[in-house]
Amino acid sequence: MIGIAWKSVCNRWPTALLAVLAIAMSVALILTVEKIRRDARNSFTQTVSGTDLIIGARSGAVQLLLYSVFRIGNATNNISWESVEEISERSALDWIIPLSLGDSHAGFRVVGTNLDYFKHYRFGDKRALSLATGKPFDDVFDAVIGSQVAAELGYQVGDNIVVAHGTGNVALVEHDKQPFMVSGILEATGTPVDRAIHVSLQGIEAMHVDWRNGATVKGEGTPADVIRGMDLQPKAVTALLVGLKSRGAVFREQRTINNYRAEPLLAILPGVALQELWSLISVAEMALLIVSIIVVIAGLVNLMSVLLAGLNERRREMAVLRSVGARPSHVFLLLCIESTLLTIGGIIAGLVLHYGLTGVGSLFLQQRFGLVLPLSLPQSTEIKILLWIAVAGVLAGTIPALQAYRKSLADGLSQRL
């Protein structure tokens, strides 16, 4: 029966191909949506670990998390350096990493920080940053770049980088008088760190020496050697990553920062802010899931339509099978096997299409948002989805099969050629 069903499908390959494509697109869509949902959460969760508090200007928890950790969006205000010094003197704090944002290079964010960033920043399962080549910055005009920056722009240790003002892809105003030199390249992390250019806080101040009121001063620009001898103490930073000596003090320190009187500040717990982010996007996730389910149903309905539409053309075929000894149950089984073959073919084609979409889409998401969607074998949830689609495809074939089962021998033989 399987051989007969396969030859029957091959004989009607145009309509069978349409049914397979409909199921394939349904499978690819629902698997891709599920993978993006799962891997996006994993990517966001693994971006920062071991950080107890994130401090920034008072705004929203999600906004602070996005621009300080994921480099998405911009800060509403900065934190004065006086506040940074006062906060760093608190006895409960173990370490503090200042971050200064606002500049870019070829669409990649420039992050001003200090050497504590390489010492205390953790990602994934509390993994530390490591250099693939070179060394951390020890000069005002040194820069440590992420692995993706080096790969896309072809930079190596010793190359020069001209930083632009602002965070857009198009550089309107460049700090071309004070170029930076690549001193090190970080190992790949699968986080937004790969898409960042790290310079010292003094480097951020150095490239703005010739700036007044947000614009450059006309002239040749201050020489780099002269800038190195200046007082480059930062006046403000964008955010602070904080590690505490004891996790038990996190709520007390958070409350203290939120009630800070010198200026309006906000301290957030990364995990809590992530949960708030998931709650905001859960509606979009549900909408995508509903659309995916509807597309799957449409694909199965198309499969059933193809089988039903072919019954009238195949009534003589069924009658001939009955006349040579096939029972009604054999006819029923034949249609069920055909629907199973078409469903399995659609699932296999859908998996191929899914991996193709994932491979192309992961490049875009990583370049645009720093989200990593690694290619992997189907997880338990995805396997369950495929099994449900397979069962639904077989059940969809039972309706045409029941109609064929009920056709009489005389009804089939009475059809004209």
What local confidence, expressed as pLDDT, does residue 200 receive?
Answer: 94
Cβ pair 114, 97 in contact under 8 A = yes
Cβ pair 227, 140 in contact under 8 A = yes
What local confidence, expressed as pLDDT, does residue 219 receive?
Answer: 47
Enumerate the β-bridge partners of residue 97: 241
Enumerate the β-bridge partners of residue 54: 241, 268
What local confidence, expressed as pLDDT, does residue 173 receive?
Answer: 61
Question: Other CB atoms closer than 10 Å to residue 82's CB: what's the count?
Answer: 12
Question: Other CB atoms closer than 10 Å to residue 388's CB: what's the count?
Answer: 12
The three-state DSSP-derived secondary structure of the chain is CHHHHHHHHHHCHHHHHHHHHHHHHHHHHHHHHHHHHHHHHHHHHHCCCCCCEEEEECCCHHHHHHHHHCCCCCCCCCEEHHHHHHHHCCCCEEEEEEEEEEEEECCEEEEEECCHHHHHCEECCCEECCEEEECCCCCCCEEEECHHHHHHHCCCCCCEECCEECCCCCCCCECCCCCEEEEEEECCCCCHHHHEEEEEHHHHHHCCCCEECCEECCCCCCCHHHHHCCCCCCCEECEEEEEECCHHHHHHHHHHHHCCCCCCEEEECHHHHHHHHHHHHHHHHHHHHHHHHHHHHHHHHHHHHHHHHCCHHHHHHHHHHHHCCCCHHHHHHHHHHHHHHHHHHHHHHHHHHHHHHHHHHHHHHHHHHCCCCCCCCCCHHHHHHHHHHHHHHHHHHHHHHHHHHHCCHHHHHCCCC
Q: CA nearest 404: which of 316, 298, 297?
A: 316
Hunting for tokens 């949960």 — which residue is that?
Answer: 275
Q: CA nearest 16: which of 416, 349, 364, 357?
A: 349
Each residue's pLDDT, cut to its tens digit, for the chain (417 residues) gives 667 667 766 767 777 788 888 888 888 888 888 887 787 777 777 788 889 999 999 989 999 999 999 888 888 899 999 999 999 999 999 999 999 998 888 889 999 999 999 999 998 878 899 999 999 998 999 999 999 999 989 999 999 998 887 665 544 566 667 789 999 999 988 888 999 999 999 999 888 787 665 555 544 567 778 888 888 899 999 999 999 999 889 999 999 999 999 899 999 999 899 888 888 877 877 887 888 788 888 877 877 777 666 666 666 666 666 666 666 666 677 777 878 888 888 889 989 998 888 877 777 766 665 566 677 778 888 888 889 888 888 887 777 777 766 664 445 445 444
| ∠ CA 265-268-270, rounded to 5° | 150
Question: Other CB atoms closer than 10 Å to residue 183's CB: what's the count?
Answer: 22
What local confidence, expressed as pLDDT, does residue 414 receive?
Answer: 53
Q: How many Å apart are CA 121 and CA 111, to the nearest integer?
A: 13
Token couple for 165: 């003002």
Q: CA nearest 401: which of 297, 320, 326, 328?
A: 328
Token couple for 200: 């010292």
What local confidence, expressed as pLDDT, does residue 32 receive?
Answer: 84
